[in-house]
């Protein structure tokens, strides 16, 4: 018994000594830093989960920026992480010095959890090859071919709005757009026409895959800090039942297409073509690997787009002058295109684009992006060497609400994105899709989808904010992406 107690005391003291040594990192380098606590470093306590990690990062950023720091240090557990507050350094880490900072420390486990090995989490050569091969999937030409899917999925929007306008009841905006956005992405990424049964199964497994409960949160934090250790223990990101479900759906669809020589214009078809090409080059692209990419299109594209549509419609409802200008534009452009919601018509709606871009500034769904240092880097302005394994955190929402960068940051002003004003904006101070070679691959697809959904609802309806919406917005402490407590509720009226 005494031996066991001694063992635990020794382990405890060793861990304590390790932390004490690690927490000296930034002070030794003379870098301003935020005081960490044991054992989470600057992460909020993942067990209590009282505050969202993204919100903590925003607070740290604004505090340090007010003190005049152009960068500062934090700790993710015991691992040092540098946070730039100056767009000049954002550019340095995300783009200019990409050879040193091309890893994203996003935990994945290819062996036990193949669906987690997707474009977002992969690094190095595997990422580079896949990114090059997948880039053609998102060209303007390809987006034009899938554009009709956006219009075909309008039904769910019209059903919700006609029902609530007739009844005079408020509707949950996120619910409506989540349904639209999941129909679009299941159709484009998994190659499925959506029926109710599949929709229920999909929503069950995607909810599971997107639910960041305490255990998942700990795996994510631990996996980012100690990936090898977590892989050794077989930690997963996605529940086995959900991983198996997605693999089965993709395998069945691929088999069906092969047996029936069926070809469809969607992302899955492009991934199948990629596999055939790889096979010719003597390489393989397994069903697990294909599924992982379909899955990430869904995971990365579904909620981000639905959230953007939701907050855009909220701002449109809350700012009647924006609504007037927008509905005028939508009607004029559609009239020019014989009332047809076509790719060309949506492209022409320039004020709508400004509204979407401003929404992505003020309500960016992704809190931050990160990079890991892959070889020691001498950071000249700081006169310090960033060691291999340390990381960089770029807190997007903090930069977007930085009054030194975006004057009156909490005001919704689409004119910021008028072409003449946009030209003056530093590219590295507006980052809803990240930046550099790892920038969001689906950004053009997303903007087109969001604009189309908004144009379709605005042409027939007028909106006002329902008292059910809790204002000012309060972020939910447990979500990975930004979301608000109580949801966004609007009333609508047919025009």
Instruction: State the residues that interact with ligand HEM by CB under 6 A.
Output: 119-120, 131, 296-297, 300-301, 304-305, 308, 365-366, 369, 432-435, 438-442, 445-446
Distance CA 364, CA 109 (A): 28
Beta bridge partners of 411: none
In the structure encoding, which two tokens stand for residue 373, read together?
């240092």
Instruction: Give 417 or 433: the residue with its C-beta nearer to ligand HEM.
Output: 433
Instruction: Give 345 or 446: the residue with its C-beta nearer to ligand HEM.
Output: 446
Distance CA 43, CA 75 (A): 8
In the structure encoding, which two tokens stand for residue 461, read together?
């309806």
Instruction: Give 370 or 491: the residue with its C-beta nearer to ligand HEM.
Output: 370
Q: Any long-range contacts for 402-410 (C-beta under 8 Å, 24+ apart)?
A: 402/61, 402/62, 402/65, 402/85, 402/429, 404/65, 405/87, 405/429, 406/361, 409/362, 410/362
Nearby residues of 254 by Cβ (< 8 Å), 6 or more positions away: 268, 272, 287, 290
Q: Shortest gap between Cβ of 406 and ligand HEM (angstroms)?
A: 17
440 is in an annotated binding site: yes
Distance CA 240, CA 219 (A): 15
Instruction: Give 179 or 305: the residue with its C-beta nearer to ligand HEM.
Output: 305
Q: What is the DSSP string of 292-330?
A: HHHHHHHHHHHHHHHHHHHHHHHHHHH-HHHHHHHHHHH
Radius of gyration, CA atoms only, the chain: 24
Q: Shortest gap between Cβ of 104 and ligand HEM (angstroms)?
A: 6
* Residue number closest to ligand HEM, CB atom: 434
DSSP 8-state symbol, 471: S
- What's the start-to-end Cα distance of the chain, in Å? 78
Nearby residues of 222 by Cβ (< 8 Å), 6 or more positions away: 77, 107, 229, 230, 235
Q: Shortest gap between Cβ of 349 and ligand HEM (angstroms)?
A: 17
Instruction: Give 119 or 322: the residue with its C-beta nearer to ligand HEM.
Output: 119
Q: Shortest gap between Cβ of 290 and ligand HEM (angstroms)?
A: 14
Q: Shortest gap between Cβ of 93 and ligand HEM (angstroms)?
A: 10
Q: Shortest gap between Cβ of 39 and ligand HEM (angstroms)?
A: 27
Q: Shortest gap between Cβ of 178 and ligand HEM (angstroms)?
A: 13
Instruction: Give 359 or 466: the residue with its C-beta nearer to ligand HEM.
Output: 359
Q: What is the DSSP string of 435-451?
A: -GGGS-TTHHHHHHHHH
Assess contact for 451 and 344: CB atoms under 8 A.
no
Q: Shortest gap between Cβ of 35 and ligand HEM (angstroms)?
A: 28
Q: Shortest gap between Cβ of 14 and ligand HEM (angstroms)?
A: 35
CA torsion through residues 191, 196, 197, 202, sign: positive
Assess contact for 202 and 186: CB atoms under 8 A.
yes
Instruction: Give 190 or 433: the residue with its C-beta nearer to ligand HEM.
Output: 433
Instruction: Give 54 or 301: the residue with its C-beta nearer to ligand HEM.
Output: 301
Distance CA 276, CA 285 (A): 8
Give the residue from 224, 273, 296 showing the smallest Cα distance to 74. Answer: 224
Instruction: Give 439 or 471: the residue with its C-beta nearer to ligand HEM.
Output: 439
Assess contact for 224 and 116: CB atoms under 8 A.
no
Q: Shortest gap between Cβ of 380 and ligand HEM (angstroms)?
A: 23
Instruction: Give 54 or 365: the residue with its C-beta nearer to ligand HEM.
Output: 365
Distance CA 464, CA 170 (A): 9
Q: Which residues are annotated as a binding site?
A: 440
Residue ranges of the binding site for heme: 440
């Amino acid at each position: 018994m005494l031996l066991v107690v001694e063992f635990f005391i020794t382990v405890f003291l060793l861990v304590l000594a390790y932390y004490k040594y690690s927490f000296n990192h930034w002070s030794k380098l003379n870098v301003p830093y935020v005081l960490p606590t044991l054992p989470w470093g600057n992460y909020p306590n993942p067990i209590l989960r009282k505050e969202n990690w993204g919100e903590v990062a925003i607070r740290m950023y604004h505090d340090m920026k007010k003190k005049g720091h152009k960068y500062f240090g934090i700790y993710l557990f015991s691992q040092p992480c540098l946070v730039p507050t100056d767009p000049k350094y954002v550019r340095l880490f995300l783009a200019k010095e990409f050879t040193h900072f091309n890893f994203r420390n996003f935990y994945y486990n290819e062996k036990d959890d193949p669906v987690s090995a997707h474009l977002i989490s992969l690094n190095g050569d595997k990422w580079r090859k896949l990114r090059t091969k997948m880039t053609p999937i998102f060209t303007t030409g390809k987006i034009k071919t899938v554009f009709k899917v956006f219009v075909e999925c309008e039904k769910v929007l019209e059903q919700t709005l006609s029902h609530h306008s007739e009844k005079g009841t408020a509707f949950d905006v996120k619910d409506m757009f989540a349904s639209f956005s999941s129909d679009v992405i299941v159709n484009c990424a998994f190659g499925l026409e959506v029926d109710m049964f599949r929709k229920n199964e999909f929503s069950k497994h995607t909810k599971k895959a997107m639910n960041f409960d305490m255990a998942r949160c700990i795996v994510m934090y631990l996996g980012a800090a100690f990936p090898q250790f977590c892989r050794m223990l077989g930690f997963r990101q996605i529940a086995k039942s959900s991983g198996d479900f997605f693999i089965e759906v993709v395998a069945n669809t691929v088999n069906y297409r092969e047996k029936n020589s069926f070809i469809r214009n969607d992302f899955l078809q492009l991934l199948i073509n990629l596999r055939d090409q790889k096979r010719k080059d003597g390489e393989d692209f397994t069903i697990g690997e294909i599924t992982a990419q379909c899955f990430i299109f869904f995971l990365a594209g579904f909620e981000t787009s639905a959230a953007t549509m939701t907050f855009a419609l909220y701002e449109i409802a809350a700012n009647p002058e924006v609504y007037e200008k927008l509905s005028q534009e939508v009607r004029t452009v559609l009239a020019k295109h014989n009332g047809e919601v076509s790719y060309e018509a949506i492209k022409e709606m320039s004020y709508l684009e400004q509204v979407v871009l401003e929404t992505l500034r003020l309500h960016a769904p992704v809190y931050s992006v990160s990079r890991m240092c892959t070889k020691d880097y001498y950071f000249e302005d700081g006169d310090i060497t960033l060691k291999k394994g340390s990381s960089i955190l770029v807190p997007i929402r903090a930069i977007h609400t930085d009054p030194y960068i975006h004057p009156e940051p909490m005001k919704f002003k689409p004119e910021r994105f008028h072409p003449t004003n946009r030209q003056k904006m530093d590219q590295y101070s507006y980052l809803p899709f990240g930046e550099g070679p790892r920038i969001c691959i689906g950004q053009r697809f997303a903007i087109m989808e969001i604009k189309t959904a908004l144009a379709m609802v605005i042409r027939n309806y007028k909106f006002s904010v329902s008292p059910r919406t809790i204002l000012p917005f309060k972020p939910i402490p447990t979500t990975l992406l930004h979301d608000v407590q109580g949801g966004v509720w609007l009333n609508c009226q047919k025009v």
